[in-house]
Amino acid sequence: MTVFERMQRIDRRVMYVLLVAVIALPMFVPFKLPTAITPEVRGVYDAVESIPKGKLAILSGDWGAGTLAESLPQTEALMRHLFRNNVPFAILPWAPQTTTLMQNTAERLAPEYGKVYGRDWVNWGWKAVPMVAFLKSMAKDIPGTVRQDYRGTPLSELPVMKGVKDIEDIGFVCHITPVGNIMLWVAFIQAVYGTPIAYAPTAVMVAQGYDPLDAKQLVGMLPGLVGGAQYETLLNDPRSGVRWSNSLSLAELLMIFLIVLANIGYFASRRAGGSGR
């Protein structure tokens, strides 16, 4: 086997080991790669900055442990921004796992900002009802639809919910999700009431976010892990998103390198008189 043929036939297990090595490297040796801020991420940041005083934000989510590396940095960065700006928010989980994961995240961050559950944020809990029915009902009557938080405490007993009656009291929504249901928020809330909606999808779902962004149905988008890293950069507070996006950048560089290597091998072996492979 010639060297050009070897370049095309690297054992996949060798590639896996290389991949693990380049992903692990930034975890052991932290460094900072330049992060360009895209307009869609800037849009989310600006929308949070312009939430009117006294209005509640909603962090809606249906992610689980499977997409933690993408959804957690997005959630954490948004929560930090809301805590820092003293914007009260409600966690609206669409899955049981999300209830716990988002609550744990808020509880971990809250002491850094001196925030207290019930006063500065609330977790509405998973309601096990169809999303459309919940959104349509919630838009008109939040206390009547949500009724109690994830612990079973009536909303009326939570100071953060004081004065929150319907969607007009909501200043910002961000839907953090690995699935394609953002258009339900757009169709049933943004299109009807004009509430600013942001989207924080996993990278797989990014493509479907660009047309509503272009149509101004979304105020912005955090595309996957990279979106979380950009948001942390905007907050000037690099955390897991920035660190993990370094791993992602190195992994992609490795893949590009391997693709180029195999193609060089292919064309070189053809030029040398072979049939490519």
Partner 1 sequence: MNEALQQFFSNQEAVQRTVVWSGAICTLAIYTFLYRENVVYRLFEHFYLGLAVGYGLFLVVSEILIPKWWVPMWNEGRWWWAFALTGGAMFYFVYSQKHNWISRLAFGAVMGLAVGWMFQDFAGANFPKIAASLKPVIPHAPVGDSPGLTVSAAVNNAIFLFVLLTVMSYFFFSFDYEKHRRAARAAQIGRWMLMLGFGAMFGATVMARMSLLIGRLWFLLHDWLRAVSF
What's the min distance (Å) between Cβ of 86 and partner 1?
25
Q: Which is nearer to partner 1, 59 or 69 (CB)?
A: 69
Which residues have C-beta within 8 Å of that of residue 11, sequence separation ≥ 6? none
For the chain, how big is the Rg over CA atoms in Å?
22
Which residues have C-beta within 8 Å of that of residue 180, sequence separation ≥ 6? 205, 208
For position 20 contacting partner 1 by CB under 8 A, the verdict is: yes
- Binds partner 1 (CB under 8 A): choice among 107, 112, 157, 252: 252
Q: Which is nearer to partner 1, 181 or 268 (CB)?
A: 181
Distances (CA, A) of 16 to 35, 190, 258, 263: 26, 44, 12, 19
Q: Which two tokens stand for residue 264?
A: 């060089």
For position 68 contacting partner 1 by CB under 8 A, the verdict is: yes
For position 11 contacting partner 1 by CB under 8 A, the verdict is: no
For position 179 contacting partner 1 by CB under 8 A, the verdict is: no
236: left (phi over 0), alpha (psi -120 to 50) or beta: left
As separate numbers, helices (DSSP H) first and strands (DSSP E) second, the chain gives 12, 6
- Strand ranges across the sheet with 89-93: 121-123, 89-93, 56-61, 170-177, 197-201, 220-221
For position 61 contacting partner 1 by CB under 8 A, the verdict is: no
- Binds partner 1 (CB under 8 A): choice among 202, 230, 233, 269: 202
For position 255 contacting partner 1 by CB under 8 A, the verdict is: yes
Residues within the interface to partner 1 (CB under 8 A): 13, 16, 19-20, 23-24, 27-28, 66-70, 96, 126, 128, 132, 183-184, 186-188, 190-192, 202-204, 206-207, 211-212, 214-217, 223-226, 239-240, 243-244, 247-248, 251-252, 255
